[in-house]
Amino acid sequence: MFCIGICDDDEGLCGELEKMLYDYGKEHKIQMNIDIWYQGESLCRFLRENKKILDVLFLDIELLTTNGIEVGRFIREEQENMETAIVYISANSSYAMDLFRVQPTDFLIKPLDKIKVGNVMNRIQKISEVRKGIFEYFGSGYYFKVLYKDILYFSSQNKKVYLVLKDGQKEFNGKLKEIAKKIPGNFIQIHQSYLINFDYIEECSYESVKMKNGDTIPISQPYRKSVRKQLAERVWRDRE
Amino acid sequence: MFALITTLSTNLLRTYIIYRFMRLFFWTDIEEKKKERACYVLFFVLTAVVYLIFCSPGMSVITNIVLIFLITVCYEGALKKKIFVTLLVYGTNMGCDLVAVHLLTDYSITGKVGECAAYITVLLLLICDVISEKILIKNKGEDKTPHGMILAVISALCLAELLIVEQELKNRILLVLFGCCVLAVVLLIFYLYDVLISAYKKLEEQSLMEKQMLIYSHQLDVLMQSEEKVKALRHDMKNHLGELALMAGNQNNEEIRKYIQDMGEYMQNQSELVSCGNKNLDSLLNYLLGQAKKKLNHVEYEVRVPSDLCISAFDLNVILGNLTENAIEAAEQTKDKWMSVDIYYEKGMLSMEIKNSFQHELAVEKNKLLSTKEEKGHGIGLANVRKMVEKYQGFMDVSNTNQIFTVKVMLYL
């Protein structure tokens, strides 16, 4: 089940997009649940009250009152939700840096058509498949399960591994080396004692990575070249 | 007197050689030029004075090492590296000294070994410097000194000349004079060479600047065209509205739609291909893609870059200019005549993907591309791109599959 949201003040466009998405769903045999909002405020209110996480959100940048940037920020910063793939819709082809900070999957330029929407949906599906999966660990006598998509990064010190999540931190005994072996490709080892989730990178440079929660993690010398290659290939792969 | 002239002239050249060595190991430009210069002057004066006054090898060795180290302190770098460079430079100096003395004592025992040996030492040192420059710079992959080896040959020839003359000439005055002249000639040739290289570099930069101007003037034309179109439409707006009202009165929906579509098409400026709001990128791409559209059948592009991202127009031009030009050239020779440009920004990384159709097998040989064109030096464009990518500590990937040639570049911004 794919939960999709559309937020645009142009009712005609919302209806058109909804139809295109349903057609796409039928073609690819995906069950869809599509909700539509005509205002940024009502969308935010819904998200706040329902604690529901959308898989995809098609969001107009030029909404009348609460605009697309503010809605995007609300989702990423206040709700700490990196999961929802945000696709901006606009009549323009010029975007400010603020929009990129929301890390949208893509921008669609009006008028929309089947091919544009299909391409974006293909990409989103591919990315969401990578994110599936559960991490299991043994700590203080119990087995615990965590979704990979909730993990920002792993860090290790002595024989302890610290698991940094969206909401808090867990620790258990283990080796980062072992974890790195069985973890999905979404994670990149950038240091002997750091293993980070690509989705939670805010900004990266050659020497360090800034995570969504504000932590800056150094990329150690021997890892730099391979990390750079992995980052570049990761970005390129997402675009294909 | 002779000792004085010899010491001063050889020491001058030696100081210059040490400067060249330093430039080789410490690549960065330093800000405190004054301090740097003062160190070299100090080196020149003190080593000469110590040599002339004390005449003791031990003292000379110590002052030399201390002063060379003082020079390295002017530059940025780890302490270990500085100590290493100091010892290396002085070691080479000592080595040359030994070789020179050895060369001379083989031939003559007339007592003027001291002076002539000094000349030969500096010439040897110079040769060592030129050769190590060549090797080290080649390893770095950027050869900024074409035909640099000729300098080594010149130095070697002068050295040979000096040796021959030294055997024949028994007059001490003439010998010292001759040595001085040889050193002066060598120094002047080196100076001329440096001047020529920097003039060449300036010329290269100038041609890039000219291209930049061309790009900007093209963008200005594009913007003015857009402006003209909007103006013209506004001018005729009354007529258009009247026409539309008339059609609406006749309930002629199909015709109205057609009319509005025509108006939209009229507004569109055919030469404004990219408008992501980033002025540098817009102007560059409008120019490059405009060129591509003239020569190719299918040109696809997508640009998703923040309008307020700071990128140097010059650096972008080097990367995108070279890559699109190569792509156009290769695609032109194919049936499809297709190319695509995809530029996007994510998480502090600017990615560029340039693809084109290509026909013949291109050899990706040792990271340097040999194109279908047999013309020599075609890979230079790509080498420049690579240099620029290195500047941004980025990553570059060249691949080809299914008759599609792809170059991908990622820069940290």
pLDDT, residue B363, reads 47
Please compute the mean of the pLDDT values over residues B126-142 and round it to a whole number: 76
In contact, B74 and B32? CB cutoff 8 Å: yes
Query: Which residue does chain A place closest to B406, by CA atoms?
Result: A236
| Mean of pLDDT over chain B | 82
Lowest mean pLDDT among B39-43, B112-116, B355-359: B112-116
pLDDT band for position B96 (cuts 50, 70, 90): confident
pLDDT, residue A73, reads 92
Is residue B255's pLDDT more than 90?
no
CA dihedral B213, B217, B219, B224 (to 10 degrees): 160
Which residue of B306, B397, B410 is in closest CB contact with A95?
B306
What is the C-alpha to C-alpha distance for residues B92 and B71, in angstroms, rounded to an integer? 17
Name which of A61, A134, A117, A52 is nearest A94 in CA terms: A61
Query: Is the CB of B303 inside 8 Å of chain A's CB atoms?
Result: yes
Query: Is the CB of B272 inside 8 Å of chain A's CB atoms?
Result: no
The long-range contacts involving B76-83, CB below 8 angstroms and separated by at least 24 positions, are B76/B26, B76/B28, B76/B30, B77/B25, B77/B26, B81/B25
pLDDT, residue B144, reads 63
Å between A209 CA and nearest CA of chain B: 10
Å between A98 CA and nearest CA of chain B: 8
Please compute the mean of the pLDDT values over residues B188-212 and round it to a whole number: 86
Query: Is the CB of B179 inside 8 Å of chain A's CB atoms?
Result: no
The predicted model scores a pTM of 0.72
B397 contact residues in A (CB cutoff 8 A): 232-233, 236
What is the percent of chain B where pLDDT is above 90? 14
Which of A107, A239, A240 is the best substitution to test chain B (most B C-beta atoms within 10 A)? A239
Contact: B304, A205; criterion CB under 8 Å: no
B346 contact residues in A (CB cutoff 8 A): 100, 103, 235
Query: Is the CB of A204 inside 8 Å of chain B's CB atoms?
Result: yes
Query: Is the CB of B156 inside 8 Å of chain A's CB atoms?
Result: no
Residue with tokens 């675009």, as numbered in its chain: A239
Which of the residues in chain A have pLDDT under 70? none
Name which of B397, B389, B396 is nearest B413 in CA terms: B389
Using alpha carbons, list the distances in angstroms from residue B14 to A197, B11, B122, B127, B384.
Answer: 56, 5, 6, 12, 34
The long-range contacts involving B145-150, CB below 8 angstroms and separated by at least 24 positions, are B145/B197
Radius of gyration of chain B (CA): 32
Query: Is the CB of A95 inside 8 Å of chain B's CB atoms?
Result: yes
ipTM of the complex: 0.88
Per-residue pLDDT tens digits for B258-312: 888 888 888 777 778 888 888 889 888 988 999 899 999 999 999 999 998 888 8
Is residue B375's pLDDT more than 50?
no
Helix axis angle for B253-267 and B172-235, nearest 10°, is 160
Contact: B346, A231; criterion CB under 8 Å: no
Q: Which of A93-97, A180-184, B32-36, B169-173 has the highest mean pLDDT?
A: A93-97
pLDDT, residue B383, reads 78
Query: Is the CB of B309 inside 8 Å of chain A's CB atoms?
Result: yes
A240 contact residues in B (CB cutoff 8 A): none
Å between A96 CA and nearest CA of chain B: 5
Query: Is the CB of A152 inside 8 Å of chain B's CB atoms?
Result: no
Query: Is the CB of B410 inside 8 Å of chain A's CB atoms?
Result: yes
pLDDT band for position B377 (cuts 50, 70, 90): very low
Per-residue pLDDT tens digits for A145-154: 888 888 999 9
Which residue of A97, A228, A235 is in closest CB contact with B351?
A235
A237 contact residues in B (CB cutoff 8 A): none
DSSP-derived 3-state class of residue A3: strand
Which residue of A93, A103, A107 is in closest CB contact with B275?
A93
What is the C-alpha to C-alpha distance for residues B123 and B129, in angstroms, rounded to an integer? 10
DSSP 8-class letter at B309 = -
Please compute the mean of the pLDDT values over residues B222-243 and round it to a whole number: 84
Beta bridge partners of B408: B353, B397
pLDDT, residue B378, reads 45
pLDDT, residue A166, reads 83
